[in-house]
Homo-oligomer: A and B are copies of this chain.
Amino acid sequence: MNRVRLSDVAKKAGVHTATASRALNPAARHEVNADTVRRVEQAARRLGYVPNTLARGLRTSRSFVVALVVPDITNALFPPIVRGAERVLARAGYTLVLTDTNNDPDTERSQISAMRARGVDGFIVATARWVDPVVSDLAETGIPTVLVNRRDAAGTLPYVGGDDRRGMQLCVEHLADLGHIAIMHLAGPNNTSTGRERTAAFRTAIRGQGLPSAGSVVECSAFTEEAGAAAAHALLEKAVPCTALVAANDLLAIGALEALAERGLRCPDDISVTGYNDISFVSRLTPPLTTVGVPLRLMGELAAGALLDWIANPNSHTAVQTLLPVEFMLRGTTAAADQVKTPARRVRDNRERAVG
């Protein structure tokens, strides 16, 4: 730990510890003689004084630590968010502690309570489920908390996310423009806001295009490749006629792509696929995934900013919901519908091939 304490600095500068404290504290510096300030600063520099954040925190009950809760840092969606948040926090003199909950509510709960014991000044939560007791508890305690990427049903906490409705609309419009009629949605889990909202947006967009929406949504059990593959397999197994698949996120899309490949269907020649989020490597797939770009890093930055705001002004805070603009990324997994001669038949044929 630090050898040199504030009292050492004070002694060297020939002042009382209290004065040294004031001199070094930007907020109190003005109530100290300018010359004294200089002396203290010099002493501090010479001694290599580094304030003990723990002691300060104990006294002020501010730790200058913020916890970021992610379900799985290994999921490429989160690193950019973490990075953005870290940057903003570090600049403001805050430290970020990361907790990976492994997608497990129990872990999440215990981790969050450990963080609270640590006296963190606030939380950025990227794990919110639609109905989420852990988040509700956090909201109730009044500890500054902002939701990122996913929000919860209560809507009482500030939230920073992408404009899901717009993103889905762009996907559906694009496919409709390409002449697709039978468009299916590989939906995200219903217990996440992203799952729900993208599904709702999908439905709205489909109707907006005057397309039939009945039975066009399949819910996946999780935002994973496996779930995407399973859903796509089920779809193909039932020979649901469709020429385009709108996945609720990139992982789901990748899983679907795999399932298609396994069944000998080609993308986009036989079926078009879109993803969502534009996570780091999907542009390198063959063909590159058509998806919706979400400003992940900016999301992290803004979430951190909102949290710092709340921490700085504990009273005047409001549950602002920030929706960031998204960008449609036209790449290789979508193609004109008329390339597929008889969509329904093709799928059916293929199924017979795969099964037989």
Q: Which of A27-35, A80-88, A128-136, A320-328 contacts B (4 or more CB under 8 A)?
A: A80-88
Q: Is A284 close to B, CB under 8 A?
A: yes
Instruction: For the complex, give the distance between the alpha carbons of A65 and B1 in Å.
Output: 13
Find chain B residues with CB under 8 A from A55 CB. Answer: 58
Find chain B residues with CB under 8 A from A115 CB. Answer: 95
Query: How far in angstroms is the closest Cβ of chain B from A193?
Result: 24
Find chain B residues with CB under 8 A from A21 CB. Answer: none
Q: Which of B1, B63, B79, B118 lies in contact with A61, CB distance below 8 A?
A: B1
Q: Is A96 close to B, CB under 8 A?
A: yes
| A100:B113 contact, CB within 8 angstroms | no
Q: Is A52 close to B, CB under 8 A?
A: yes
Q: Is A218 close to B, CB under 8 A?
A: no
Query: How far in angstroms is the closest Cβ of chain B from A45?
Result: 13
Q: Is A213 close to B, CB under 8 A?
A: no
Residue of B nearest to A284 (CB): B285
Interface 0/1 of A222-254, CB less than 8 Å to B: 000000000000000000000000000000001
Interface 0/1 of A109-122, CB less than 8 Å to B: 00101111111000
| B118:A54 contact, CB within 8 angstroms | yes
Q: Is A315 close to B, CB under 8 A?
A: no
Q: Which of A69-77, A174-182, A183-191 contacts B (4 or more CB under 8 A)?
A: A69-77
Q: Is A98 close to B, CB under 8 A?
A: yes
Query: A58 with B54: in contact, given A98-B86, A284-B281 (CB under 8 Å)?
Result: yes
Find chain B residues with CB under 8 A from A350 CB. Answer: none
Q: Is A47 close to B, CB under 8 A?
A: no
With a 10 A CB-CB cut-off, give which of A2, A117, A285 has the most chain B CB atoms. Answer: A117
With a 10 A CB-CB cut-off, give which of A76, A96, A284 has the most chain B CB atoms. Answer: A284
| B63:A74 contact, CB within 8 angstroms | no
Q: Is A90 close to B, CB under 8 A?
A: yes
Find chain B residues with CB under 8 A from A86 CB. Answer: 73, 98-100
Q: Is A50 close to B, CB under 8 A?
A: yes
Q: Is A15 close to B, CB under 8 A?
A: no
Find chain B residues with CB under 8 A from A2 CB. Answer: 116-117, 119
Query: How far in angstroms is the closest Cβ of chain B from A69?
Result: 12
Find chain B residues with CB under 8 A from A57 CB. Answer: 54
| B97:A98 contact, CB within 8 angstroms | yes
Q: Is A313 close to B, CB under 8 A?
A: no
Instruction: For the complex, give the distance between the alpha carbons of A96 and B63 in Å.
Output: 15
**Interface pairs A-B: 4 shortest CB-CB:** A286-B286, A281-B281, A98-B98, A50-B117
